[in-house]
């Protein structure tokens, strides 16, 4: 008997802009099924951030994964470690599923990272700024080029945004894109 597995991973948690992309990969079929959803930027802005609304969105995504992928009780969910996915792990366990916390999900990790980069590009971030793995500094610099307009994409709920990074972004002034 083979093991039934659904992998879950996220991308964008440590970045300055937008929300988080959560992806799932059902390995139980001859052709694996991939799906991804987005935790919106609004859940990382006040007052939603302080209320941890991003975790509520993660649970909604977990429910969508179950609905779409139709796991049975023999299915093991392998969910990447990390805080933003913690509520998914808890919620799936509460629903009676077997859940393992894993460090990496290989191909799924790459797919979800591409999903986050695609979202950034949809919002106007030039592709060349997204080539490296870590995006924080390049996104801070990109946002600084037009902070009045681009601040709406920033995770303003982060204390570090108000205490440190916002001032640095606006010190550069609004520069034409």
* Any domain includes 120: no
Per-residue model confidence (pLDDT) at position 31: 77
Q: What's the CATH number where 66 sits? A: 3.30.420
Window from 9-13, 107-111, 169-173 with minimum mean pLDDT: 169-173
**pLDDT digit string, tens, across residues 107-158:** 899 999 999 889 988 988 887 777 766 667 777 777 776 666 667 777 666 6
Nearest Cα to Cα of residue 11 among 91, 114, 90: 114
User: What is the CA 33 to chain-centroid distance, rounded?
Assistant: 19
Rounded CA gap, 144 and 137, in Å?
Answer: 11
Mean pLDDT of 155-162: 62
3-state secondary structure of 58: helix
Q: How confident is the model at residue 36 (pLDDT cuts 50, 70, 90)?
A: very high
Would you say residue 2 has pLDDT above 60? no
Least confident of 38-42, 98-102, 134-138, 154-158: 154-158
**Is there a single domain that holds both residue 91 and residue 155?**
no
Q: Are residues 53 and 102 in the same domain?
A: yes
User: Average of pLDDT values for 32-46?
Assistant: 90
Average pLDDT value over all residues in the chain: 82
Task: Tell me, yes or no, whether 176 lies in a domain.
Answer: no
Residue 175: pLDDT above 60? no
Tell me whether residue 119 is in a domain. no
Q: How many domains does the chain divide into? A: 2
- pTM here is 0.84
**Could you list the residue range(s) of the whole structural domain that residue 157 is in?**
126-171
Name the β-bridge partners of 17: 154
Cβ pair 68, 60 in contact under 8 A: no
Is 59 a domain residue? yes
Pairwise pLDDT comparison (104 vs 62), residue with the higher score: 62
């Amino acid at each position: 008997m083979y093991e039934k597995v659904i992998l879950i991973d996220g991308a964008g948690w440590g970045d300055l802009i937008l929300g988080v992309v959560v992806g799932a990969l059902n390995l139980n079929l001859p052709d694996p099924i991939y799906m991804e959803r987005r935790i919106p930027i609004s859940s990382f802005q006040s007052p939603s951030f302080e209320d941890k609304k991003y975790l509520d969105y993660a649970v909604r995504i977990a429910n969508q994964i179950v609905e779409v992928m139709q796991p049975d009780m023999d299915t093991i969910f392998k969910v990447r470690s990390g805080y933003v996915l913690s509520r998914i792990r808890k919620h799936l366990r509460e629903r009676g599923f077997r859940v393992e916390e894993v460090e990496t999900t290989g191909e799924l990790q790459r797919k979800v990272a591409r999903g986050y980069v695609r979202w950034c590009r949809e919002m106007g971030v030039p592709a060349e700024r997204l080539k490296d793995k870590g995006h924080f500094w390049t996104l801070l610099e990109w946002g600084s080029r037009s902070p009045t307009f681009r601040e709406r994409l920033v995770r303003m709920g982060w204390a570090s945004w108000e205490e440190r990074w916002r001032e640095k972004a606006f010190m550069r002034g609004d520069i034409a894109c």
